[in-house]
């Protein structure tokens, strides 16, 4: 059963990655800054980490913060101010650099706005790779106890 879940996660992440790349930017300035960041992470390698449990805190670098999805390998680092966000493709890099909308999530317990860099990130669904962003570990534990 774990093998089927793993296959489904990899398939879902592949769909996200392909859909993300289909809307490439044409602005030369955006392409240059995105290209500089995109060359830092090899994305042709297999996933380095498998999401094995909904109860495991995820490392920021393994989450595409635009698609709000666990990707199983290091994502492109996207510096914004003094923080590092992560995206899965050049389009995500552009979105993170240019819009607050993608840099914040909503804590499912309190409905408060949470900076994704500072969030306590956990897997919401092993099947889809979707993630939750909590303001802190205590909010996560309380949310989990109510579920």
Residue 132 DSSP symbol: E
In the structure encoding, which two tokens stand for residue 12, read together?
């879902």
- Beta strand segments in 2-135, E: 63-64, 69-70, 76-80, 83-87, 104-106, 113-115, 120-123, 131-134
% of the chain exceeding 90 in pLDDT: 60
pLDDT reported for residue 44: 43
Parse the chain into domains and list their residue ranges. Answer: 2-146
CA gap 116, 126 in Å, rounded: 20
Query: Does pTM top 0.85 for this prediction?
Result: no
For the chain, which ranges sit under pLDDT 50?
Answer: 2-11, 15, 17-18, 22-52
Q: What is the pLDDT of residue 147?
A: 80
Cβ pair 77, 84 in contact under 8 A:
yes
pLDDT, averaged across the chain: 77
The predicted pLDDT at position 60 comes to: 97
Q: Count Cβ atoms below 10 Å from residue 94 Cβ, excluding itself.
A: 23
At 80 the pLDDT is 97
pLDDT at 4: 45
Long-range CB contacts for residues 50-53, cutoff 8 Å, separation at least 24: 50/6, 50/9, 51/9, 51/123, 51/126, 51/129, 52/2, 53/123, 53/126
Give the residues across from 42 on adjacent strands.
none
């Amino acid at each position: 059963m774990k093998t089927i879940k793993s296959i489904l996660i990899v398939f879902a992440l592949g769909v996200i990655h392909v859909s993300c790349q289909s809307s490439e930017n044409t602005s030369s300035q955006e392409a240059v800054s995105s290209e500089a960041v995109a060359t830092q992470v090899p994305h042709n390698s297999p996933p380095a980490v498998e999401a094995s449990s909904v109860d495991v805190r995820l490392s920021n670098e393994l989450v595409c913060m635009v698609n709000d999805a666990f990707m199983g390998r290091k994502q492109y680092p996207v510096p914004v101010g003094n923080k590092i966000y992560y995206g899965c493709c050049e389009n995500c890099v552009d979105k993170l650099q240019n819009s607050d909308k993608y840099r914040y999530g909503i804590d499912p317990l309190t409905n408060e706005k949470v900076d994704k860099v500072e969030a306590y990130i956990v897997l919401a669904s092993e099947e889809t790779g979707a993630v939750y962003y909590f303001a802190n570990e205590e909010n996560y534990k309380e949310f989990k106890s109510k579920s």
